[in-house]
Amino acid sequence: MTDIIKAENLAKCYRDFRALKGISFTVKEGECFGFLGHNGAGKSTTMRMIYGLSTVDEGRLSLFGQDIKLTPPEIKRLMGIVPQDDNLDDDLNVLDNLEVYGELFGISRSETTERSLRLLSLMGIDAKVSSSIDSLSGGLKRRLVIARALINNPKLVILDEPTTGLDPQARHLVWQKLRGLKNEGVTLILTTHYMEEATQLCDRLVIMHEGSILAEGSPKELLERHILPYVIEVHAPLDTIPPDLTEKITCAGGEVLQIIDGLFLYTKDGENLWRQLNDWGLPQHACYMRPTNLEDVFLKLTGKGAEA
Amino acid sequence: MNGAFKVLGRHMRVFRRTWKHNIMFNVVEPLLYLSAMGFGLGTFVQEINGMSYLQFIAPGMIALTAMYSATFECTYGTFVRLHYQKTFHAMLAGPITVKDVILGEILYGMVKSIIFGTVILLVVTALGQIKSPAALFIPLLLILQGLVFAVLAMCYTAYTANIDFINYYITLAIMPFFLFGGLYFPVSALPGWVQAINWLNPLYHSVELCRALSLGQMSADLWTHAAILALMGLLLIPIPVKLMEKRLIS
Domain limits, chain B: 2-248
Which of A275-301 are b and which e, b meaning 16 or more Cβ less than 10 Å from the residue's Cβ?
A: eebeeeebeeeebebeebbbbbbbbbb
Domain that holds residue A137: 3-223
pTM exceeds 0.80 for this model: yes
Phi–psi pair at B59, nearest 5 degrees? -65, -30
Q: Consecutive 10-residue runs of chain A (308 residues): their mean pLDDT?
A: 89 89 94 91 92 93 94 95 91 94 93 95 90 91 93 94 85 90 94 88 93 92 90 84 82 84 86 84 85 88 60
Helix or strand (DSSP H, E) at A13: strand A3-14
In a domain, A302, yes or no: no
In angstroms, rounded to a whole number, what is the distance separating the alpha carbons of residues A62 and A6?
5
- Least CB–CB distance from A104: residue in B17, B91, B248: B91
Taking an 8 Å cut-off on Cβ atoms, the answer to whether B249 and A54 are in contact is yes
The residue out of A207, A223, A239 marking a domain boundary is: A223
Provide the number of CB pairs (under 8 Å) joining chain A to chain B: 76
Nearest to B93 among A51, A74, A106 (CB): A51
* Res A306: pLDDT: 43
In tens, the pLDDT along B172-207 reads 999 999 999 998 899 988 999 999 999 999 999 999
Q: What is the pLDDT of residue A307?
A: 44
Same domain, A176 and A249: no
Mutate to test the interface with A, among B13, B73, B78 (most CBs of A within 10 A): B13
Mutation target to probe the B interface, by most B beta carbons within 10 A, among A91, A99, A141, A156 is: A91
- Shortest Cα–Cα distance, B84 to chain A (Å): 9
Closest alpha carbon to A62 in A144, A7, A143: A7
Residue A241 lies in a domain: yes
| Residue A170 included in any domain | yes
Q: Are residues A118 and A43 in the same domain?
A: yes
Instruction: Pick from B1-5, B40-44, B154-158 the range whose average pLDDT is largest.
Output: B154-158
Q: Taking 90 as the threshold, does the pLDDT of residue B160 lie above it?
A: yes
Q: Which of A223, A251, A281 is the last residue of a domain?
A: A223
Residue A307 maps to a domain: no
Classify residue A109: in a domain, yes or no: yes
Which among B9, B87, B250 has CB closest to A89?
B87
- CA–CA distance, A219 with A204 (Å, rounded to integer): 7
The answer as to whether A308 is a domain residue is no
Q: Are A149 and A98 in contact (CB under 8 A)?
A: no
Judged on CB neighbours under 10 Å (0-12, 13-18, 19+), A164 is middle
- Pick from B203, B1, B198, B18: which is nearest to B97 by CA? B1
pLDDT at A308: 40
Interface list for chain A against chain B, based on CB atoms closer than 8 Å = 14, 48, 51-55, 70, 73-74, 76-77, 79, 81, 83, 85, 87-92, 96, 99-101, 103-106, 152
Mean pLDDT in residue range B99-109? 97
Cβ-Cβ contacts under 8 Å, B6 against chain A: 103-104, 106
> Could you tell me which residue, B235 or B32, shows the higher pLDDT?
B235
Please enumerate residues of B whose Cβ is less than 8 A from a Cβ of A: 2-3, 6-7, 9-10, 13-14, 17-18, 85-87, 89-97, 248-250
Which member of B3, B13, B250 has the closest CB to residue A54?
Answer: B250
A91 and A27, same domain (yes or no): yes
Q: Which of B14, B17, B86 sits opposite A87 (nearest CB)?
A: B86
A112 and A198 together in one domain: yes
Report pLDDT for A28: 94
Domain co-membership, A251 together with A146: no
A156 with A278, same domain: the answer is no
Residue A304 confidence (pLDDT):
56
Say how far apart CA A267 and CA A270 lie, in whole Å: 6
Tell me whether residues B10 and A88 touch, CB distance under 8 A: no
Whether B89 and A70 lie within 8 Å, measured CB to CB? no
Residue (of A34, A33, A59, A56) closest to A45 by Cα position: A56
Q: What is the per-residue pLDDT for A305?
A: 45
Q: Does residue A300 fall inside a structural domain?
A: no
Indicate which CATH number applies to the domain containing A273.
3.30.70
Q: Which residues contact A68 (CB under 8 A, 6 or more apart)?
A: A56, A61, A62, A75
Q: Is A1 exposed, middle or buried (0-12, 13-18, 19+ CB in 10 A)?
A: exposed
Chain A residues in contact with B85 by the CB 8 A cut-off are 87, 89-91
Least CB–CB distance from A81: residue in B13, B93, B250: B93
Residue A67 covered by a domain: yes
pLDDT reading at B50 higher than 90:
no
Q: Is A288 or B30 the better-scoring residue by pLDDT?
A: A288
Query: Do A193 and A283 belong together in one domain?
Result: no
Question: How much of chain B is in helix, strand and coil states, percent to nearest 5?
Answer: 85, 0, 15
pLDDT for B235 beyond 50: yes
Residue contact A87–B90, C-beta within 8 A: yes
Q: Say how many domains are in chain A.
A: 2
Same domain, A201 and A273: no
CATH number at residue A23: 3.40.50.300
Minimal Cα–Cα distance from B244 to chain A, Å? Answer: 12
Let me know whether A143 and A165 are in one domain: yes
